[in-house]
Structure 1
C-alpha cells in the first residue's frame, strides 16, 4: 500500500509538473516577434497571401508577425531553415505540397521528409491557370495542343515554366506532356515572380500557375493570355475564363493546390495550440477573407488539429502518388 501511495503521489507530481510546464509554454509564447517564412521571392502569389494574413495574425498572436521571403530549390531552402531553427514556434512556415512533399522526392540534395513538419492549419486553395505568352498564336487549350504538336514535330518543343524542379507546376507540365504525348521542355525558376517576368517577355511559352487577380489585369493589358482554369466547371470568381473541362482534349486535366501554415514537428503542443487558434481566428476576419478571395483563393474551412493532421497525411499520400505516376526521379 505504501508503495502504491508513493507511486501515485509521484505520478501526480509529474503530471502536475507537466501541466504547469505546458501552461507556462502557452503563456510565454510568443514573447517576441514571429517570422512568417515564405519560400519564394517577393512579388508572387505566395507573398501576397502572407501579406494578406500577417497583420491579422499579429493581432491574434499579440506579437508582430514579420514576412520573410527566401526562395530557391523549389522552396526547400526555406523549409530547411525551419528545421535548422529551434522547435519553438518562432518561425511559421507558409507551405504547400510543393516544398514539403514534392521537393524531397525531386531534389537529391533535400534530406528532410514531409513528416519533419506539422501542418497547423489550412489557409486557402489555389485555382490553377493555364497561362501563355502574349504572342503565342493560340487562343484556347485545344488550339495550343495543335500548335504544340506541330512545334514538337519541327524540333521546337514548347517550353513550360515552373517554380523549380519537382514543384507541383513541374509535375503538371510533365503530366501534360505525358497525357498528350507531346514533348515539352521544362524551364525552372526560383519563384512565380521571375517566371512571370519571362512569360511576359516571351522567353517561355506557358506557365501552369496558381491564379491571382494580377493575371487578370495582365491579360487585360495584353501582357499574357489566360487560356483556361484547371477546374471541372466555371467558378463565379473566374467565370470569364473557360474551365479545362470545356476543352475537347483535356476534359479531365483538373487540379488545384492548397496552402497551409506549418511548424517544426517537435514544437510543443501548447505552442501549436496557440498558433492554431490564432490562425483559425484570422480565417474568420473579413479583411483576410476578402483579401484572399480578391486573389481567387478559396478560403479554407478551419479544421481541428486532429483533422489537420489527417489532412496532411492524406495530402502527402495523394501528391506522392502523382509523383509516382510520372516516374519523378530525384536529381
Structure 2
C-alpha cells in the first residue's frame, strides 16, 4: 500500500466518522443541551420572578439546565425579536404575554413581528391589573383619581407603563377616553424602573399587573374590574365607584416558542411544563408574586387562546386609534 493511498484512506475514514458523529448528534432527543428562557424585561420585575420560579424545575423536567436571560426595551419587543431570530428548535423559549407578541407591533413601526410568529404552549399565570399611585398623591380611589386629574390646573396626571403599545398603555388610554381625564404617558423599559420612579414621586399613577412587592413602595388605588380580587381583598375595585363601571382587564404570562418549532419538541416542552405547574412549591412561588396560577391546557386550547387574545387586543388598539410610530 503506497503512502498517498493510505493517507486518502485515513482521511476517508476520518470524514466518515465525523459524518456519523454529526448524524448521531442531529438525532439526539430534545433537549441535548441547555435551554434559554428569554424574559422581555429587566431583572427584578414580575416577569423575571415568574421565570425564576419555573426555570430550575423546568430544567429538571427536561433533563437540561434552563437559563434565564433578561432583555428589556421596546415594550418587550427586543426580547421577542431575539427569539424569532433564533432557530425554531425549542432551545429558545419566550416568557411572553399579549404585551410583546400582540401589542408591540401595533404601536411601533420598527417592530417587525406578529402574534402569528409565535406558538403558545401554555399559560403560566393570570394577573389581575391594579392601579397604583405615588404615595403622596391626594387620591385614594378611581373616582378621586379622575376628579384630581380633571382639576389639576389643566395639566392632568402623568402615568407610567412598560412602553408605548403595551397593554398598560392601551388600558390606561382607554380609561382616560371613557372618563375624560387628561393623562400624559411616561414609558419605561420595565416595571422595576417604573416602580422605582413612582416610589420617588416622579410619576403619578400606573396600571400594572398586581404584585405583592408593591406595598411600601406605592399606593394601591383599585382593582381594574368590578370585583375585588382574592389576592388582596382590602383593595377596592373600580366597579365600586361611580365613574368606571364594567371596566374589567387582566393579563397573562405564558411560555411561547417560534412558529415552526417541531411538533415533537412542542409536545416535549408542553409535557414538562404541565409537570412543573403541578409542583406545589412552584405554585407557591408563583402565588407569592401576586399571580394566580393558570389552568393547564392542551396545545390546541393554547393556540385557540392566543388567536382569541390577538383579535381582542387588536380591536382595543383600533378603538383608541393606536397608530404605529
TM-score, reference length from structure 2: 0.90
Residue-pair matches, total: 301
Q: Which residue of 2 aligns with 1:321?
A: 315
| Per-residue deviation, 1:262 | 0.5
SS in 2 for 1:28: coil
Q: Which residue of 1 aligns with 2:167?
A: 168
| 1:178-327 alignment, distance < 5 Å | 178-216=177-215, 218=216, 223-327=217-321
Distance in 1 separating the partners of 2:195 and 2:243: 26
SS in 1 for 2:231: helix
Q: Which residue of 2 aligns with 1:108?
A: 109
Distance in 2 separating the partners of 1:253 and 1:25: 51
Distance in 1 separating the partners of 2:171 and 2:184: 12
Q: Which residue of 2 aligns with 1:52?
A: 53
Distance in 2 separating the partners of 1:156 and 1:141: 18
Distance in 1 separating the partners of 2:145 and 2:169: 18
TM-score, reference length from structure 1: 0.89
Q: Which residue of 2 aligns with 1:124?
A: 125
Label 1:31 to 1:252 Cα distance change in 2 as closer, same or farther (>3 A).
same
Distance in 2 separating the partners of 1:300 and 1:28: 29
Distance in 1 separating the partners of 2:194 and 2:229: 26
| Per-residue deviation, 1:27 | 5.7
Label 1:106 to 1:26 Cα distance change in 2 as closer, same or farther (>3 A).
farther
- Do 2:75 and 2:165's aligned partners in 1 also have CA atoms closer than 8 Å? yes
Q: Which residue of 2 aligns with 1:21?
A: none
Q: Which has the larger radius of gyration?
A: 2
- Please list every run of at least 4 consecutive aligned residues from structure 1 whose deviation after the TM superposition is greater than 3 angstroms: 24-27
Q: Which residue of 1 aligns with 2:142?
A: 141
Label 1:25 to 1:263 Cα distance change in 2 as closer, same or farther (>3 A).
farther
Mark the runs of 5 or more structure 2 residues left unpaired by the alignment.
1-24
Distance in 2 separating the partners of 1:25 and 1:252: 54
Post-superposition Cα deviations, 1:57-79, rounded to whole Å, max 9, x if no partner, equal 11111111111100000111101
Label 1:305 to 1:95 Cα distance change in 2 as closer, same or farther (>3 A).
same
- Do 1:26 and 1:274's aligned partners in 2 also have CA atoms closer than 8 Å? no
Q: Which residue of 1 aligns with 2:21?
A: none
Post-superposition Cα deviations, 1:156-207, rounded to whole Å, max 9, x if no partner, equal 2200000000000110121111011122100000000110011111111001
- Do 1:26 and 1:270's aligned partners in 2 also have CA atoms closer than 8 Å? no
- Do 2:223 and 2:229's aligned partners in 1 also have CA atoms closer than 8 Å? no
Aligned residues: CA RMSD: 1.3
